[in-house]
Amino acid sequence: MKTIKLTEDTRKDILDRLLKRSPDNYSEYEKTVADIITDVRTNGDRAVFSYTKKFDQWESHADNIRVTQAEIEEAVRSIDRPFLAVMKKSAANIEAFHQKQLRNSWIDTKPDGSILGQWILPLSVSGVYVPGGKAAYPSSVLMNVIPAKVAGVKKIVMTTPAGADGKVNPGTLAAASIAGVDEIYKVGGAQAIAAMAFGTESIPKVDKITGPGNIFVALAKKACFGYVSIDSIAGPSEILVIADETANPRYVAADLLSQAEHDELASAILITTDEKLAAEVGRQIEGFLQELSRTEIIRRSLDNYGYILVADSMDDALETANAIASEHLEILTRDPYAVMTKIENAGAIFLGAYSSEPLGDYYAGPNHILPTNGTAKFFSPLNVDDFMKKTSLISYSREALMKVHQDIELFAEREGLTAHANSIRVRFEDGI
């Protein structure tokens, strides 16, 4: 892990390197993804079954593509009771947090008879993609599904790849059962995204697709956006830690490694004002690497996108943190709440020595599906609003319209839209 003095030049270099990890920079896969989407859109189930055999090595068909209730019950029975109990506690925390995000429809009436309002309704059908194999994360099932359930989505459809034996990861199915998924289909990759975006004979079309995936899944979501809504085009995981001389270097090192283990493209960055802390964190990281699994992945991640940045001042550290706009931001300083008030861009902020990033990943309740690759400057964590749609309500009485009709007609005429003006004018052509 590189220790670097924080300057304007090093900040720019790091930002440039981090942006190269974006899914937008993998255009060589776009034609492959586009061909899969076209095939699924044209040939439906036949294409899905063909890709499932090609990529997942098992024979799927209309009678086995959907996970049965018996399969779900078998999966739940196979999960050890303590883990099942923890998943249920986590689900309760996630639900309680997202319940606070609910908003109500509203109507504003005036004495002249004008009525304005906003009608808030849930989406009808939401789709969630869940990776399979080594990247099977039951926590992401809970985070994707529970906000949709809180929003009141009528039907939630999940797609996830099965193994060569035609079985889905039991942890995934148990989490889906806890969260309340309505239908689960054994299909992965770009073909799963296309199936949910356009519908096939077996898999229903959805209104929105959420959930993480590999580069093919990310590019498929991007290509299908517009035919269906999506949460985001997620990039690799990131953590940024802001620390001063009061931070525990062992905690800092452990927290940086918690994200570096995701994959080789993950980013782990420490910005500190204390050179002694920087050196000790580096030593602690080397010590942990002798104990942890996934060491090869962690080392490649740290070699490529791991930095310890030594800043001259906390103001410099904060300026860099806001420029990076990290997915996860930990603040380990003497007064983390004071530092927090100066943060403008972050997916989630973790305050203090006992609020490490995995607390948010698994248990606390806020969503762990967060903006990456600097998009925290304009995107938010997945939330209940993502599963709602808002409709404006407008009703004017004749009295209310009479007061303003000439203003509207003038506006329309200045835009050269005479039919717009006429639509208002005809209501008063009797002169009354």
Exposed/middle/buried for 36, CB within 10 Å: 0-12, 13-18, 19+?
buried
Q: Are 203 and 157 in contact (CB under 8 A)?
A: yes
Question: Please, which residues have CB within 8 angstroms of residue 141's CB and are 6 or more apart in sequence?
Answer: 128, 130, 158, 172, 175, 176, 179, 181
The token duo for 100 is: 């606070």
Annotation marks residue 73 as catalytic: no
State the Cα–Cα distance between residues 212 and 141, nearest whole angstrom: 10
Q: Are 168 and 186 in contact (CB under 8 A)?
A: yes
Q: Are 353 and 334 in contact (CB under 8 A)?
A: no
The token duo for 185 is: 């289909």
* Cα 223–Cα 229–Cα 230 angle in degrees, nearest 5: 70
State the Cα–Cα distance between residues 321 and 184, nearest whole angstrom: 40
Q: Which of 349, 365, 375 is nearest to 236 (CA)?
A: 375
Q: Give SS3 for 109.
A: strand
The token duo for 218 is: 């990310």
3-state secondary structure 327-348: CEEEEECCCHHHHHCCCCCCCE
Q: Give me the catalytic one of 328, 330, 368, 409.
A: 328
Q: Give me the catalytic one of 71, 238, 327, 409.
A: 327
Q: Is the dihedral of CA 48, 49, 53, 54 positive or negative?
A: negative
Q: Give SS3 for 317.
A: helix
Q: Which of 221, 293, 285, 218 is nearest to 262 (CA)?
A: 293
State the Cα–Cα distance between residues 20 and 12, nearest whole angstrom: 13
Annotation marks residue 328 as catalytic: yes
Tell me the one-letter amino acid at 345: N
Given the structure tokens 């580069």, which residue do they identify?
Answer: 215
Residues with a catalytic annotation lie at 327-328
